[in-house]
């Protein structure tokens, strides 16, 4: 397939797979934009070098060991598929529940969900060390291993997100097809997040993992952190004139975020109370959880409570919840809190071994860190390029709102195009 001239008089627009790609916008991008792209390119290059080192030297360059058989890659896997949930919730709320105030976010939300799931899957592949082993995973799956279900669901979900994005941009099938795709994507997303939680919950030999509340905790954390990240990115897109949104949209988004935070924090506090309540406490649970409250792992668990509680306090009052700086600050705090929460979840099963021996806390090696940073930079690069070349702005006739200045890519306004730095 090749690019052809689009059916528009605007120069630099090329049509490919039914979408108009504004290649000309890349030529007019300013120095700040390309400096940022260059920085992302450097980080991706370092990540590729780290990956090559893993493939040539083996797992010895990683900080994982017998006591910690999983590392930063699995913490990031849980984190990224969770963040992807926020995009789906916003997208689904438009087509299933008529939340029209979120329609201008639909394309951006689906793009982010696809990119986040992509790097989650790539993180899994890097842990295989010999990445071609995925061949045997596909041909001879162990159906009793829960990773078979969550791994395959992540791959399918990623594809569906990008197909959804294509449908939203091209308008193929109209609202009816978008609605049907939502009916497919939403159950699949719930299935993906549930099976990811089951990776932990179904390990009965790891006491702090083996709890049925793991699934709802995972889902609420996923939705809260995903909505928080979407709010932050939406503000960034507006700051650089890529997209424009009404203040009411941000108010609705922050209200949704505060509501989900309540349930997420409640479930976490309820689980802690269950572990230490005299009539329900079990010696194995309390000993292990104490490692995270007062022991060597407290540095990665207490921030979950402190940052999460602070974020909710900022959004709990109506007056402060509607201030943009407060919305962004609370969202950033909660995204960081959920990262620590995922890292803590990964560590909880390994803090004390199955034979009762304490394990020294795991910290990723430089190679693992560069690999993780490279994957994150790859997702940011995808969104950065898409912000320039794809029509992420939803046409006004689709949502019937005056949302301010048109999208720099779609409008053809040279002033906006030259000023868009993202």
> Strand, coil or helix: what is 5?
strand
The 10s digit of each residue's pLDDT in 400-420 is 444 333 333 343 443 334 333
pLDDT at 399 over 60: no
Mean pLDDT value across residues 365-374: 95
Q: In the predicted model, is pLDDT for residue 94 greater than 60?
A: yes
pLDDT of residue 412: 40
- Looking at residue 193, what is its pLDDT? 86
pLDDT for position 410: 40
pLDDT at 4: 55
> Which residue is it, tokens 């490692």?
291
Q: Which two tokens stand for residue 344?
A: 């803590």
What is the pLDDT, as a whole number, of residue 238?
A: 93
| The pLDDT value given to residue 97 | 82
Select from 1.20.1630.10, 3.40.605.10, 1.20.1740.10, 3.40.1170.20 the CATH code of 37-396: 1.20.1630.10
Beta-bridge mates of residue 21: 14
- pLDDT, residue 136, reads 80
- Residue 132, classified by CB atoms within 10 Å of its CB into exposed (0-12), middle (13-18) or buried (19+), is exposed
For 147, half-sphere exposure in the C-beta direction (CA atoms, 13 angstrom radius) is 14
The tokens of 385 are what?
């390029």
Copy the structure tokens of residue 156: 């399918």
Give the residue, 373 or 70, on which the prediction is more confident: 373
DSSP code of 394?
P
Structure tokens at 83: 């963040």
User: Which of 167, 166, 163 lies closest to 175, judged by CA?
Assistant: 167
Q: What is the pLDDT of residue 415?
A: 37
| Whole-angstrom distance, CA of residue 23 vs CA of residue 33 | 14
* pLDDT for 254 beyond 90: yes
Going by C-alpha positions, the residue among 315, 295, 297, 296 that lies closest to residue 307 is: 315
Is the pLDDT at 396 greater than 80? The verdict is no
| Cβ atoms of 121 and 140 closer than 8 Å | no
Tell which residue, 307, 302, 303, 279, has the closest CA to residue 289: 302
From residue 279, alpha-carbon distances to 212, 272, 274, 276, 282 in Å are: 19, 13, 9, 9, 9
Write down the pLDDT at residue 6.
52
Q: What percent of the chain has pLDDT over 70?
A: 91
Tens digit of each residue's pLDDT (9 = 90 or more) over 16-42:
777 888 888 888 888 999 999 999 999
The predicted pLDDT at position 185 comes to: 87
Residue 276 pLDDT > 50, yes or no? yes
**What average pLDDT does the chain have?**
85
Q: In which band, very low, low, confident or very high, does the pLDDT at 9 lie, cut at 50, 70 and 90? A: low
Who has greater pLDDT, 372 or 131? 372
How is the chain split into domains, by residue range?
A: 37-396
> Residues 349-355: what's their mean pLDDT?
83
Above 90 in pLDDT, residue 68?
Answer: no
pLDDT (average), residues 349-363: 84
pLDDT, position 375: 96
- Interval 117-154: pLDDT, tens: 999 999 888 877 777 777 787 788 888 888 888 888 89
The pLDDT of residue 104 is above 70? yes
19-28, 67-76, 360-369: which has the minimum mean pLDDT?
A: 19-28
Average pLDDT, stretch 306-331? 93
pLDDT class for 178, splitting at 50, 70, 90?
A: confident
Q: How are beta strands 19-22 and 13-16 bridged, if at all?
A: antiparallel
For residue 299, what pLDDT is reported?
92
Higher-pLDDT residue of 247 and 17 is 247
């Amino acid at each position: 397939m090749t690019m052809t001239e689009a059916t528009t008089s605007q120069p630099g627009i090329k049509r490919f797979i039914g979408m108009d790609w504004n290649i000309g916008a890349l030529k007019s991008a300013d120095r700040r934009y390309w400096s940022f792209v260059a920085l992302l390119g450097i980080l991706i290059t370092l990540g590729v070098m780290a990956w090559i080192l893993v493939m040539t030297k083996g797992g010895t360059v990683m900080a994982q060991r017998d006591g910690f058989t999983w590392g930063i890659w699995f913490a990031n896997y849980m984190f990224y598929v969770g963040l992807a949930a926020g995009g789906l919730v916003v997208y689904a709320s438009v087509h299933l529940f008529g939340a029209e105030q979120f329609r201008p976010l639909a394309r951006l939300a689906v793009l982010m969900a696809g990119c986040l799931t992509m790097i989650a899957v790539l993180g899994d592949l890097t842990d295989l060390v010999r990445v071609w082993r995925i061949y045997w995973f596909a041909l001879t799956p162990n159906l009793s291993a829960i990773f078979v279900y969550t791994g395959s669901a992540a791959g399918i979900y990623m594809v569906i997100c990008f197909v959804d994005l294509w449908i939203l941009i091209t308008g193929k099938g109209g609202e009816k097809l978008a609605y049907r795709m939502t009916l497919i994507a939403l159950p699949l997303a719930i299935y993906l997040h549930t099976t990811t939680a089951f990776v932990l919950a179904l390990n009965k030999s790891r006491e702090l993992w083996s709890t049925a509340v793991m699934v709802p905790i995972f889902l609420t954390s996923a939705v809260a952190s995903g909505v928080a990240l979407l709010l932050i990115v939406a503000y960034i897109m507006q700051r650089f004139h890529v997209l424009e949104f009404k203040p009411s949209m941000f108010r609705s988004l922050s209200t949704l975020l505060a509501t989900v935070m309540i349930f997420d924090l409640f479930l976490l506090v309820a689980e802690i109370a269950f572990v230490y309540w005299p009539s329900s406490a079990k010696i194995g649970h309390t000993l292990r959880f104490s490692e995270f409250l007062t022991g060597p792992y407290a540095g990665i668990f207490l921030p979950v409570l402190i940052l999460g509680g602070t974020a909710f306090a900022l959004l709990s009052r109506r007056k402060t919840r509607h201030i943009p700086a407060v919305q962004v600050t609370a969202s950033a705090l909660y995204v960081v809190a959920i990262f620590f929460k995922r890292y803590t979840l990964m560590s909880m099963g390994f803090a004390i071994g199955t034979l009762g021996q304490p394990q020294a806390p795991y910290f990723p090696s430089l190679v693992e860190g560069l690999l993780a940073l490279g994957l994150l930079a790859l997702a940011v690069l995808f969104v950065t390029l898409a912000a320039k070349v794809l029509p992420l702005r939803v046409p006004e006739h689709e949502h019937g709102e005056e949302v301010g200045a048109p999208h720099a890519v779609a409008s053809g306004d040279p002033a906006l195009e030259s000023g868009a730095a993202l």
